[in-house]
A and B are shown apart, each in its own frame.
Chain A
């Protein structure tokens, strides 16, 4: 998918440039933007180093364990089909807390472990179980308390107030999370009914 997107940009861009006589600019655009890509990425080193350091402290101090305990009741509500003491439950909780802390790709290995454990509970191995669907809904719309990478990026591009978007992002992320959870329940109801009728 991303392949088509990128191809579209370059292909259409070049054709339009040829049509509008902007071809002369393109070589310089390529060079400039490649340079920019490198400097933006390297501009993130400072703040990412800081966040990764703080994340390590959160992990080592047991603060993430506290978050996991606090999320417990919510998880039992969201995943009624998963037994409370099943290992899948603790993996789900860990993934949730990693998402909340904006750990991004660091959450993936824990999420995959949760999927494996949910698969053990799944009677039909080729079809997603309701718990899996809820877990995916939760992950694709993940609630992020502090979007660390974006704040870093804002700093790297010269924002006067990099943290300005924390509240707006929080509102938007809660809205998408709530939508995902509600739709998940709604679709589960309709799909289960339809599949029974078949």
Chain B
């Protein structure tokens, strides 16, 4: 199981890159020029992320260094240990459905604090990669067409998020624990 996972993670990106470039070349797409054209957007995305990262890291830094974070984790310990979620990733689980970039900043902070390759860091990354920003998507998508009654959409989205979190914790513990 772990061997398969290791192979997948080692091969996925190189294989994707070579398949994409080879196919595009076969279709006579000027690969280099196209790459450069697309690559220009990368800088803008990173720069747009700056205010989110600064806001979230400062907020979280205050919360953590003051001792409030530890208090929060210890307070919820009985609840989180019941379902097997480490309390340290709880703020991420709460933030994930609310703001994508906000959650990404929490993931960054978690990795800086515990190390990107630590179990907590890996759980945080897996959580972030497993679902999308439920509240944001519901608001923007339904708002754009004027639908006011979203029926059961929010319930479905949040329950799917919770499943994603629990499975993330479980799989990471199984594979990396």
Contact = CB atoms under 8 A, between A and B. Distances in A.
Partners in one complex: yes
Interface of A: 1-2, 5-6, 9-10, 12-17, 20, 22, 25-26, 29-30, 32-34, 36-38, 40-42, 44-45, 47-63, 99, 104-105, 108, 111-112, 115-116, 118-119, 122, 125-128, 132-133, 135-137, 139-142, 144, 146-147, 149-151, 153-154, 156-173, 175-177, 179-180, 183-184, 187-188, 191
9 contacts: A5-B98, A37-B54, A40-B53, A40-B108, A52-B38, A56-B37, A60-B34, A137-B156, A171-B167
A135 B142 CA distance: 11
Contacts of B129: 144, 147, 150, 165, 169, 172-173
Interface of B: 4-5, 8-10, 12-13, 16-17, 20-21, 23-24, 27, 29, 31, 34-43, 45-47, 49-50, 53-68, 71, 94-95, 97-100, 102, 104-105, 107-108, 111-112, 116-117, 121-122, 125-135, 137-138, 140-142, 144-153, 155-157, 159-161, 163-164, 167-168, 171-172, 175-176
Contact of B38 (A25, A26, A53, A62): A53
Contact of B163 (A25, A108, A176): A176
B151 A173 contact: no
B12 A163 contact: yes
Contacts of B16: 54, 146
A37 B105 contact: yes
Contacts of B43: 45, 48-49
Contacts of A119: 145-147
Given A13-B63, A166-B12, A133 B153 contact: yes
B85 to A, nearest CB: 13
Contact of A187 (B38, B60, B155): B155
B59 A183 contact: no
Contacts of B100: 104-105
A1 B8 CA distance: 37
Contacts, number: 364
Contacts of A44: 45-46, 49
B67 A126 contact: no
Nearest to B139: A1
A32 B24 CA distance: 44
Given A22-B65, A105-B100, A128-B147, 17 more contacts: A5-B98, A10-B58, A15-B68, A29-B61, A33-B60, A52-B38, A55-B38, A115-B142, A127-B149, A133-B152, A140-B131, A150-B125, A156-B108, A157-B116, A172-B129, A177-B160, A179-B159
A102 to B, nearest CB: 8
A64 to B, nearest CB: 10
B42 A49 contact: yes
A10 B61 CA distance: 9
Contacts of A191: 151-152
B156 A139 contact: no
Contacts of A2: 95, 98-99, 102
